[in-house]
Amino acid sequence: MSAPADLAALRQEIADACRVLAARGLAEGYLGHISLRIDEERLLVRCRGPEERGLAYTTADDIRLVTLEGAPGGEGELDGWSPPNELPLHTEVLRRRPEVAAVVHAHPPAVVAADLAGLGIRPIVGAFDMPGTKLAAGGVPVYPRGVLVRDRRLAGEMVVAMGDRPVVVLRGHGLTSSGGSVAEAVLRAVSVDQIARLSLTVASAGGQLRDLPEEDMAELPDLGGGFNLTTAWRHELARLG
């Protein structure tokens, strides 16, 4: 299949999303990547180029078209760039979850620390972050192996642990987040990170984590994708300056 005519715009969208992850503290160094399904055989993914500087400095050139097997998805696509070692983490999610369009992998320190401290991602907040609360209420599972997800066997284990949920925590490693768009996958990762940070703060203050009461959960409205997704993403891009 031929690539969409706006492939250049999609490269820029993913590059901006990588910078959002870094600005939010989910990928402060040079580890982490975002992918977007293009067709049945190919995806755009952040690759490592000859002048790698980290996610905060990602450019559209760093986003390359590859096949599910990691081969170039077009002429010259991998000239000077290498797919991430954990490409199978992305491709196995895309293979097994047809509803998923985008995959985020990041190493948020707060998410790692909260999990190692035995603090699960729970619906501890309410109107503070309604999409995040609802995501947490549905469950954020944990893949209990702190390994580099470098092949389909390990990626398959991770996807099994993930189940039908949009986000999975990788013990001692980070998280994998998915969505119907790049923005949705990133915003879900941001929400999980915020809840992890709050959980650590509460625990360090000697408090106990308590789930939002059912009656309060029932009062949380759905403000719709125009607010929860479009406006939220516009804000994230504006924060980049």
What is residue 69's predicted lDDT score, i.e. its pLDDT? 97
Residue 1 lies in a domain: no
Read off φ and ψ for residue 69, nearest 5 degrees: -95, 0
What is residue 4's predicted lDDT score, i.e. its pLDDT? 53
Residue 32 lies in a domain: yes
Domain that holds residue 51: 7-235
What is residue 1's predicted lDDT score, i.e. its pLDDT? 38
Residue 240 lies in a domain: no
Residue 37 lies in a domain: yes
Residue 241 lies in a domain: no
Residue 186 lies in a domain: yes
> Which residues are known to be catalytic?
86
Residues of the chain with pLDDT under 50: 1-3
CB of 78 within 8 A of CB of 66? Answer: yes
User: How many domains would you assign to the chain?
Assistant: 1
Angle formed at CA 87 by CA 147 and CA 113, multiple of 5 degrees: 40
Flag whether the pTM goes above 0.85. Answer: yes
What is residue 2's predicted lDDT score, i.e. its pLDDT? 44
Residue 84 lies in a domain: yes
pLDDT, tens digit, for every residue of 63-87? 999 999 999 999 999 999 999 999 9
Alpha carbon distance, N-terminus to C-terminus of the chain: 36
CATH (domain of 152): 3.40.225.10
| Secondary element (H or E) of residue 67 | strand 63-67
Residue 125 lies in a domain: yes
Amino acid identity for residue 40 in this structure? E
**Region of residue 32 (phi > 0: left; psi between -120 and 50: alpha; otherwise: beta):** left
| C-alpha distances out from residue 209 to 23, 109, 151, 183, 212, Å | 27, 19, 36, 29, 10
What is the C-alpha separation between 231 and 241, in angstroms, rounded? Answer: 16
